[in-house]
């Protein structure tokens, strides 16, 4: 299990490097999918399986799918993958940065303890992640409404920006 | 823009700042800042020109980077100290990152490069909202961070005074001049924050009043360039007489109000045994004074060449709301 967590975390960092090195949106979307999937694996490993499921469904299966389709609409004749020289340079740079950060901030070679969702609160009926969801709907009601307002505002902003054909800022494709 | 959408965006601007002001939890404060950033994006693209779209994109990138860094700093503070309270940011990594993130949000040097380009692409009204209202929420958070040493704030402040003065030196576009003036004034505010927070508030409130007046006087004469400013003296003569006062107040000359924050800040710095910092701040403010003086020179003190019909706009139907006309 520790080994699996190591592999997942390595995939997370490599996916981050893959996205940040500025390839074409095709490949960057694939990098995002890998990062999201691996991140969900990390969540499962620390005990938050419900959150992981929700993340898979909504983020990967909702938002990333929409993003992948809109990236497909921005098709280029010569897409830059990670083999092309400018992207490869950035990949190398970021990997060096990761190594430097590990050297500066990392302490030892063995695994440190992640507290996870199970061991924080002691003996409870619900795990941490499901208990958090129930709290969000009960005590955090106002914050939930605030979060809902922000999402609605984002929708209005995007619709206003893409109204198209002279009345919006971006032309309708 | 339809009135419903317009009012939704304006109300969201109000909600965002109010939320940040009313919050003690970092999440809520960050949420308020994000609401502000989102709500102003369509307002910035209202003129539907490629320049406005470019300015909006640059603004969004800068603010999104700063917001992400702010959230990371808040989360790392929660990780190390266990507290999400704004007044309990004790971890050095956290408050340093937060200071830098908020400095990028309001446009302090050396994170100020987005400000002049963004302001140049906006209408004067949107630039006014950007310079005044959008600074309130991050400033509230800067006020509440209590770092252990004044070094970072002083460095940001002094660099901003230098960058704001020196950068605005060669500008002829009024919106860029206003952007650099904003950078310099925010530098004065942040310089004194560790020593005397009330003086920061004095500087901020006087800056708000003066910048609002200057933006509004440019809006009334519809000038965005020194060339158009030079032939605008006949449009609203009262305004032509009053604008130099606003400009010199921004430059910090006594007996105008703009001198008050600078005087008190210099006094407080001297009391803290930082006379060199005070001298440097005062000297580099002379650069700002130079371009304020240049604006008042072109607007009021001289009459650049124009045909005789240029002396008559004040006789036409007024499109402004000043009294007397």
At A127, the pLDDT band (50, 70, 90 cuts) reads confident
Chain B residues in contact with A169 (beta carbon < 8 A): 42, 45, 48, 52-53, 56
Hey, of B28, B36, B48, B56, which one would you mutate to test binding to chain A, going by the most A CBs within 10 A of its CB?
B48
Q: Tell me: the pLDDT tens digits for B217-253?
A: 999 999 999 999 999 999 989 999 999 999 999 999 9
Q: Which residues contact B235 (CB under 8 A, 6 or more apart)?
A: B220, B221, B313, B314
- What pTM was estimated for this model as a whole? 0.89
User: Taking 80 as the threshold, does the pLDDT of residue A115 lie above it?
Assistant: no
Quote the CA–CA distance of B75 and B64 in Å, as a whole number: 16
Q: Tell me: the pLDDT tens digits for B174-204?
A: 999 999 999 999 999 999 999 999 999 999 9
Q: Tell me: the pLDDT tens digits for B294-303?
A: 999 999 999 9
Lowest mean pLDDT among B11-20, B107-116, B292-301, B310-319: B310-319
- Interhelix angle A65-73/A25-46, rounded to 10 degrees, is 170
ipTM of the complex: 0.84
Chain B residues in contact with A153 (beta carbon < 8 A): 8-9, 12, 35, 38-39
User: Taking 90 as the threshold, does the pLDDT of residue B215 lie above it?
Assistant: yes
Quote the CA–CA distance of A70 and B175 in Å, as a whole number: 36
> Is the four-CA dihedral B214, B206, B266, B151 of positive or negative sign?
negative
DSSP character string of A69-92: HHHHHS--SS---TTSHHHHHHHH
Predicted local distance difference test score (pLDDT) of residue A173: 45
Chain A residues in contact with B56 (beta carbon < 8 A): 169
Q: Tell me: the pLDDT tens digits for A56-100?
A: 999 999 999 998 888 888 778 888 888 888 899 999 999 999 998
E strands along chain B, which residues? none
Comparing alpha-carbon positions, the chain A residue that sits nearest to B5 is: A156
The two structure tokens encoding residue B91: 């971890």
Chain B residues in contact with A170 (beta carbon < 8 A): 53
Quote the CA–CA distance of B248 and B201 in Å, as a whole number: 20
A113 or B22, which is more confident? Answer: B22
Q: Tell me: the pLDDT tens digits for B90-139?
A: 889 899 999 999 999 999 989 999 999 999 999 999 999 999 999 999 99
Of B19, B38, B45, Cβ closest to residue A153: B38
Distance set, CA A164 to CA A167, A172, B51, B136 (Å): 6, 4, 17, 32
């Amino acid at each position: 299990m520790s080994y699996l967590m190591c592999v997942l975390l390595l995939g997370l960092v490599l996916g981050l490097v893959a996205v940040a090195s500025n390839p074409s949106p095709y490949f960057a979307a694939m990098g995002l999918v890998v990062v999201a999937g691996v991140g969900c694996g990390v969540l499962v490993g620390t005990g938050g399986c419900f959150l992981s499921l929700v993340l898979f469904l909504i983020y990967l299966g909702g938002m990333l799918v929409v993003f992948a389709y809109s990236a497909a609409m921005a098709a280029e004749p010569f897409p830059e993958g990670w083999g092309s020289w400018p992207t490869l340079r950035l990949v190398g740079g970021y990997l060096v940065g990761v190594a430097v950060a590990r050297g500066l901030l990392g302490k030892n070679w063995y695994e440190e303890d992640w507290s996870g969702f199970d061991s924080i609160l002691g003996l409870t009926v619900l795990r941490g992640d499901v208990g958090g969801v129930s709290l969000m709907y009960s005590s955090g009601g106002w914050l939930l409404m605030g979060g809902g307002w922000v999402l609605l505002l984002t929708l209005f902003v995007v619709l206003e920006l893409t109204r198209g054909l002279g009345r919006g800022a971006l032309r309708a494709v | 823009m339809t009135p419903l959408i317009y009012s939704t965006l304006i109300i969201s601007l109000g909600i965002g700042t109010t939320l940040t002001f009313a919050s003690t939890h970092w999440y809520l404060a960050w949420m308020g800042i994000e609401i502000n950033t989102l709500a102003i994006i369509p307002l910035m693209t209202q003129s539907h020109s490629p320049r406005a779209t470019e300015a909006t994109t640059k603004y969004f990138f800068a603010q999104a980077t700063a917001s992400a860094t702010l959230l990371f700093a808040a989360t790392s503070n929660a990780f190390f100290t266990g507290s999400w309270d704004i007044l309990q940011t004790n971890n050095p990594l956290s408050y340093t990152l937060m200071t830098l993130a908020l400095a990028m949000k309001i446009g302090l040097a050396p994170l100020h490069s987005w400000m002049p380009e963004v302001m140049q692409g906006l209408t004067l009204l949107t630039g006014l909202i950007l310079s005044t209202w959008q600074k309130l929420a991050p400033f509230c958070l800067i006020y509440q961070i209590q770092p252990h040493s004044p070094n970072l704030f002083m460095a940001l402040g002094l660099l901003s005074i230098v960058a704001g003065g020196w950068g605005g030196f060669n500008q002829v576009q009024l919106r860029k001049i206003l952007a650099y003036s904003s950078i310099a004034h925010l530098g004065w505010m942040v310089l004194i924050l560790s020593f005397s927070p009330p003086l920061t508030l004095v500087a901020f409130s006087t800056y708000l009043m003066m910048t609002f007046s200057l933006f509004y006087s440019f809006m009334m004469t519809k000038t965005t360039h020194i060339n158009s400013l030079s032939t605008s003296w006949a449009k609203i003569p009262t305004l032509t007489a009053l604008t130099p006062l606003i400009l010199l107040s921004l430059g910090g000359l006594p007996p105008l109000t703009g001198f008050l924050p600078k005087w008190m800040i210099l006094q407080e710095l001297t009391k803290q045994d930082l006379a060199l910092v005070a001298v440097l701040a005062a000297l580099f403010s002379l650069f700002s004074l130079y371009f304020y003086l240049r604006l008042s020179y072109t607007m009021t003190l001289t009459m650049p060449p124009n045909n005789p019909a240029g002396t008559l706009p004040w006789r036409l139907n007024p499109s402004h709301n000043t009294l007397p006309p």
